[in-house]
Homo-oligomer: A and B are copies of this chain.
Amino acid sequence: MPRKRTTAEEGDTGLQPLSKPDLERASKRSKSDLRASMQRQRWRRDGLDQFLPYPIHQVNRLLEPGPVVLVTTGSLANRTHNIMTMGFHMMIQHEEPTLIGACIGPWDKSYDTLKKTGECVLAIPAVEMLEKAVDIGNCSGEDVDKWETFGINPVPAPEYVSDSGSAEEEEGKGEEEERAQTRAPLVGGEDVVANIQCVVQDRALVAKYNLWVLRVVGAWVNRDMDLEYGQGSKNAGDEKNSVGGRELGVREMKMAHHRGDGRFVVDGKEVDLRARMVKWKEFQD
Protein backbone atom coordinates (compact mmCIF):
# COMPACT_ATOMS: atom_id res chain seq x y z
CA MET A 1 0.00 0.00 0.00
CA PRO A 2 1.56 3.34 -0.97
CA ARG A 3 1.74 5.83 1.89
CA LYS A 4 2.43 9.58 2.18
CA ARG A 5 6.09 10.31 2.85
CA THR A 6 6.82 12.70 5.72
CA THR A 7 9.27 15.57 5.43
CA ALA A 8 11.60 13.87 7.88
CA GLU A 9 11.71 10.82 5.67
CA GLU A 10 12.54 13.00 2.74
CA GLY A 11 15.74 14.05 4.50
CA ASP A 12 14.94 17.10 6.68
CA THR A 13 18.49 17.57 7.88
CA GLY A 14 18.95 21.30 7.42
CA LEU A 15 21.50 20.56 4.74
CA GLN A 16 21.23 20.96 0.99
CA PRO A 17 18.07 19.43 -0.57
CA LEU A 18 18.67 15.83 -1.58
CA SER A 19 19.06 14.89 -5.21
CA LYS A 20 16.45 12.64 -6.86
CA PRO A 21 18.50 9.44 -6.48
CA ASP A 22 19.15 10.32 -2.81
CA LEU A 23 15.44 10.80 -2.26
CA GLU A 24 14.66 7.45 -3.85
CA ARG A 25 17.22 5.69 -1.72
CA ALA A 26 15.91 7.35 1.47
CA SER A 27 12.34 6.50 0.58
CA LYS A 28 13.33 2.89 -0.08
CA ARG A 29 15.11 2.70 3.28
CA SER A 30 12.24 4.17 5.24
CA LYS A 31 9.77 1.86 3.51
CA SER A 32 11.92 -1.07 4.49
CA ASP A 33 12.21 0.26 8.10
CA LEU A 34 8.43 0.54 8.31
CA ARG A 35 8.01 -2.94 6.87
CA ALA A 36 10.46 -4.30 9.45
CA SER A 37 8.66 -2.53 12.28
CA MET A 38 5.27 -3.83 11.12
CA GLN A 39 6.74 -7.28 10.81
CA ARG A 40 8.08 -7.16 14.38
CA GLN A 41 4.64 -6.13 15.63
CA ARG A 42 2.98 -8.94 13.67
CA TRP A 43 5.54 -11.48 14.93
CA ARG A 44 4.91 -10.39 18.54
CA ARG A 45 1.15 -10.70 18.07
CA ASP A 46 1.47 -14.14 16.45
CA GLY A 47 4.02 -15.55 18.88
CA LEU A 48 6.81 -15.75 16.34
CA ASP A 49 8.93 -13.49 18.55
CA GLN A 50 9.69 -16.60 20.64
CA PHE A 51 11.92 -17.69 17.76
CA LEU A 52 14.93 -16.45 15.84
CA PRO A 53 15.82 -17.32 12.25
CA TYR A 54 18.35 -20.14 12.05
CA PRO A 55 20.67 -20.98 9.15
CA ILE A 56 19.09 -23.59 6.93
CA HIS A 57 22.38 -25.31 6.16
CA GLN A 58 22.74 -26.08 9.87
CA VAL A 59 19.37 -27.76 10.27
CA ASN A 60 21.19 -31.09 10.52
CA ARG A 61 22.25 -29.98 14.01
CA LEU A 62 18.59 -30.04 14.99
CA LEU A 63 17.47 -33.23 13.28
CA GLU A 64 20.49 -35.54 13.11
CA PRO A 65 20.28 -36.34 16.85
CA GLY A 66 16.94 -38.03 16.06
CA PRO A 67 14.39 -36.17 18.19
CA VAL A 68 10.71 -36.97 18.08
CA VAL A 69 9.09 -34.16 16.07
CA LEU A 70 5.71 -32.56 15.50
CA VAL A 71 4.52 -32.03 11.94
CA THR A 72 2.07 -29.34 10.90
CA THR A 73 0.25 -29.26 7.57
CA GLY A 74 -2.60 -27.25 6.11
CA SER A 75 -3.03 -23.56 6.73
CA LEU A 76 -4.34 -21.22 9.37
CA ALA A 77 -5.70 -19.00 6.59
CA ASN A 78 -8.34 -21.56 5.66
CA ARG A 79 -8.50 -23.37 9.04
CA THR A 80 -7.16 -26.62 7.60
CA HIS A 81 -4.14 -26.65 9.90
CA ASN A 82 -3.39 -29.95 11.61
CA ILE A 83 -0.59 -31.31 13.77
CA MET A 84 0.81 -34.83 14.25
CA THR A 85 3.78 -36.54 15.90
CA MET A 86 6.52 -38.37 14.00
CA GLY A 87 9.61 -40.41 14.75
CA PHE A 88 10.48 -41.63 11.25
CA HIS A 89 12.62 -38.88 9.74
CA MET A 90 16.21 -38.27 8.70
CA MET A 91 18.61 -35.75 7.25
CA ILE A 92 19.30 -36.49 3.58
CA GLN A 93 21.51 -33.58 2.56
CA HIS A 94 23.19 -30.76 4.50
CA GLU A 95 22.74 -28.06 1.86
CA GLU A 96 22.25 -27.08 -1.77
CA PRO A 97 19.50 -27.77 -0.98
CA THR A 98 19.00 -28.94 2.61
CA LEU A 99 16.89 -32.11 2.39
CA ILE A 100 14.98 -34.20 4.92
CA GLY A 101 13.26 -37.56 4.59
CA ALA A 102 9.99 -38.14 6.45
CA CYS A 103 7.41 -40.92 6.57
CA ILE A 104 3.83 -39.74 6.61
CA GLY A 105 1.28 -42.32 5.50
CA PRO A 106 -2.38 -42.41 4.46
CA TRP A 107 -3.26 -43.41 8.03
CA ASP A 108 -2.38 -39.81 8.99
CA LYS A 109 -4.87 -37.04 8.22
CA SER A 110 -1.82 -34.93 7.37
CA TYR A 111 -1.05 -37.19 4.40
CA ASP A 112 -3.91 -35.86 2.26
CA THR A 113 -3.15 -32.27 3.18
CA LEU A 114 0.56 -32.65 2.44
CA LYS A 115 -0.34 -34.23 -0.88
CA LYS A 116 -2.45 -31.22 -1.71
CA THR A 117 -0.39 -28.32 -0.35
CA GLY A 118 3.13 -29.74 -0.65
CA GLU A 119 4.19 -27.91 2.51
CA CYS A 120 4.75 -28.77 6.15
CA VAL A 121 6.63 -27.66 9.24
CA LEU A 122 8.67 -29.98 11.44
CA ALA A 123 8.77 -28.69 15.01
CA ILE A 124 10.99 -30.14 17.72
CA PRO A 125 9.34 -30.27 21.12
CA ALA A 126 11.56 -29.89 24.16
CA VAL A 127 11.20 -32.56 26.82
CA GLU A 128 8.89 -30.27 28.82
CA MET A 129 6.36 -30.79 26.04
CA LEU A 130 6.83 -34.52 25.60
CA GLU A 131 3.52 -35.66 27.11
CA LYS A 132 1.63 -33.28 24.85
CA ALA A 133 3.62 -34.54 21.86
CA VAL A 134 2.64 -38.13 22.65
CA ASP A 135 -1.01 -37.21 23.12
CA ILE A 136 -1.00 -35.32 19.81
CA GLY A 137 0.25 -38.51 18.18
CA ASN A 138 -2.45 -40.62 19.75
CA CYS A 139 -5.59 -39.00 18.42
CA SER A 140 -6.70 -37.83 14.98
CA GLY A 141 -7.38 -34.38 13.60
CA GLU A 142 -10.51 -36.00 12.15
CA ASP A 143 -11.95 -36.26 15.64
CA VAL A 144 -10.56 -33.34 17.60
CA ASP A 145 -9.07 -29.90 17.11
CA LYS A 146 -5.66 -30.82 18.47
CA TRP A 147 -4.53 -27.21 18.75
CA GLU A 148 -7.37 -26.39 21.10
CA THR A 149 -7.40 -29.69 22.94
CA PHE A 150 -3.72 -29.54 23.81
CA GLY A 151 -3.40 -25.76 24.08
CA ILE A 152 -0.92 -25.48 21.23
CA ASN A 153 -0.55 -22.10 19.58
CA PRO A 154 -0.29 -22.23 15.78
CA VAL A 155 1.91 -19.40 14.58
CA PRO A 156 1.06 -18.05 11.10
CA ALA A 157 3.87 -19.08 8.78
CA PRO A 158 6.29 -16.24 8.14
CA GLU A 159 7.87 -15.65 4.76
CA TYR A 160 10.54 -18.22 4.17
CA VAL A 161 13.97 -17.35 5.44
CA SER A 162 16.70 -17.99 2.94
CA ASP A 163 19.93 -19.70 3.89
CA SER A 164 21.65 -16.35 4.46
CA GLY A 165 19.12 -15.53 7.15
CA SER A 166 17.27 -12.77 5.28
CA ALA A 167 13.54 -12.98 4.56
CA GLU A 168 12.38 -13.62 1.01
CA GLU A 169 11.53 -10.66 -1.17
CA GLU A 170 7.98 -9.49 -0.61
CA GLU A 171 5.60 -11.16 -2.97
CA GLY A 172 2.68 -9.63 -4.82
CA LYS A 173 -0.39 -9.33 -2.61
CA GLY A 174 -2.50 -11.77 -4.58
CA GLU A 175 0.29 -14.27 -4.71
CA GLU A 176 0.95 -13.90 -1.00
CA GLU A 177 -2.71 -14.53 -0.21
CA GLU A 178 -2.64 -17.63 -2.34
CA ARG A 179 0.55 -18.77 -0.66
CA ALA A 180 -1.05 -18.28 2.77
CA GLN A 181 -3.55 -21.00 1.85
CA THR A 182 -0.82 -23.62 1.65
CA ARG A 183 1.79 -22.45 4.11
CA ALA A 184 1.79 -24.60 7.25
CA PRO A 185 1.87 -22.85 10.63
CA LEU A 186 4.78 -23.01 13.04
CA VAL A 187 4.27 -24.51 16.48
CA GLY A 188 4.39 -21.74 19.04
CA GLY A 189 5.32 -21.78 22.69
CA GLU A 190 8.33 -21.54 24.93
CA ASP A 191 8.78 -25.33 25.04
CA VAL A 192 9.39 -25.68 21.31
CA VAL A 193 13.07 -26.03 20.41
CA ALA A 194 12.77 -25.27 16.71
CA ASN A 195 10.49 -24.99 13.69
CA ILE A 196 11.66 -26.14 10.28
CA GLN A 197 9.64 -24.99 7.26
CA CYS A 198 9.63 -27.50 4.42
CA VAL A 199 8.24 -27.92 0.92
CA VAL A 200 7.93 -31.27 -0.83
CA GLN A 201 10.93 -31.81 -3.07
CA ASP A 202 10.26 -35.32 -4.33
CA ARG A 203 7.26 -37.66 -4.22
CA ALA A 204 8.91 -40.56 -6.06
CA LEU A 205 8.78 -42.91 -3.06
CA VAL A 206 5.52 -41.73 -1.51
CA ALA A 207 3.26 -44.27 -3.20
CA LYS A 208 5.58 -47.18 -2.32
CA TYR A 209 6.87 -46.29 1.15
CA ASN A 210 5.08 -43.09 2.24
CA LEU A 211 8.55 -41.54 2.13
CA TRP A 212 8.59 -37.81 1.39
CA VAL A 213 11.72 -35.94 0.42
CA LEU A 214 11.37 -32.44 1.88
CA ARG A 215 13.39 -29.33 1.14
CA VAL A 216 14.01 -26.92 3.99
CA VAL A 217 12.99 -23.35 3.16
CA GLY A 218 13.10 -21.76 6.60
CA ALA A 219 14.25 -22.53 10.12
CA TRP A 220 13.56 -20.92 13.48
CA VAL A 221 14.96 -21.68 16.92
CA ASN A 222 13.72 -20.80 20.39
CA ARG A 223 15.42 -17.58 21.41
CA ASP A 224 15.53 -18.60 25.09
CA MET A 225 17.11 -22.02 24.64
CA ASP A 226 20.79 -22.83 24.61
CA LEU A 227 21.47 -24.69 21.38
CA GLU A 228 25.18 -24.52 22.07
CA TYR A 229 24.84 -26.74 25.15
CA GLY A 230 26.60 -24.28 27.40
CA GLN A 231 29.60 -24.14 25.08
CA GLY A 232 28.67 -21.00 23.19
CA SER A 233 29.66 -18.50 25.86
CA LYS A 234 32.91 -16.89 24.92
CA ASN A 235 33.48 -15.13 28.25
CA ALA A 236 32.80 -16.11 31.84
CA GLY A 237 29.66 -14.38 33.02
CA ASP A 238 28.43 -13.92 29.46
CA GLU A 239 24.80 -14.95 29.61
CA LYS A 240 24.27 -15.07 25.89
CA ASN A 241 25.35 -17.70 23.45
CA SER A 242 25.69 -17.43 19.75
CA VAL A 243 24.21 -19.80 17.20
CA GLY A 244 24.62 -19.04 13.55
CA GLY A 245 25.78 -15.54 14.46
CA ARG A 246 22.64 -14.76 16.46
CA GLU A 247 22.17 -14.29 20.17
CA LEU A 248 20.41 -17.04 22.01
CA GLY A 249 19.22 -17.51 25.54
CA VAL A 250 20.61 -19.90 28.10
CA ARG A 251 17.71 -22.16 29.05
CA GLU A 252 18.89 -25.75 28.88
CA MET A 253 17.61 -27.52 25.78
CA LYS A 254 16.72 -31.20 25.95
CA MET A 255 15.20 -33.22 23.13
CA ALA A 256 13.39 -36.54 23.52
CA HIS A 257 14.06 -39.61 21.36
CA HIS A 258 11.36 -42.22 20.78
CA ARG A 259 12.39 -45.75 21.61
CA GLY A 260 9.63 -47.09 19.43
CA ASP A 261 7.02 -48.30 21.91
CA GLY A 262 6.04 -45.24 23.91
CA ARG A 263 9.26 -45.08 25.88
CA PHE A 264 11.51 -42.11 25.31
CA VAL A 265 15.05 -41.26 26.22
CA VAL A 266 15.90 -37.68 27.05
CA ASP A 267 19.15 -35.95 26.13
CA GLY A 268 21.79 -36.63 28.75
CA LYS A 269 25.36 -35.49 28.89
CA GLU A 270 27.17 -33.80 26.06
CA VAL A 271 30.37 -35.19 24.52
CA ASP A 272 32.38 -32.76 22.43
CA LEU A 273 34.47 -34.59 19.86
CA ARG A 274 34.79 -31.73 17.39
CA ALA A 275 38.57 -31.91 17.55
CA ARG A 276 38.40 -35.48 16.18
CA MET A 277 36.25 -34.47 13.18
CA VAL A 278 39.27 -33.84 10.97
CA LYS A 279 37.50 -34.86 7.77
CA TRP A 280 34.29 -32.86 8.13
CA LYS A 281 35.41 -29.38 9.17
CA GLU A 282 32.91 -27.75 6.82
CA PHE A 283 30.09 -28.75 9.16
CA GLN A 284 31.62 -26.91 12.10
CA ASP A 285 31.55 -23.20 12.95
Contact = CB atoms under 8 A, between A and B. Distances in A.
B261 A61 contact: yes
Interface string A248-279: 00000011111111111111111111111111
A263 B64 CA distance: 11
Given A90-B103, A101-B211, A205-B204, A271 B276 contact: no
17 contacts: A61-B260, A65-B260, A66-B67, A88-B92, A90-B90, A90-B101, A99-B209, A131-B273, A137-B280, A138-B278, A211-B213, A262-B274, A263-B271, A264-B273, A266-B271, A267-B268, A268-B268
A11 B250 CA distance: 76
Contact of A259 (B64, B89, B204, B269): B64
A209 B213 contact: yes
Interface residues of A, number: 66
Given A90-B103, A260-B60, A269 B279 contact: no
A58 interface: yes
A229 interface: yes
Interface of A is mostly: mixed
A77 interface: no
A256 B267 CA distance: 9
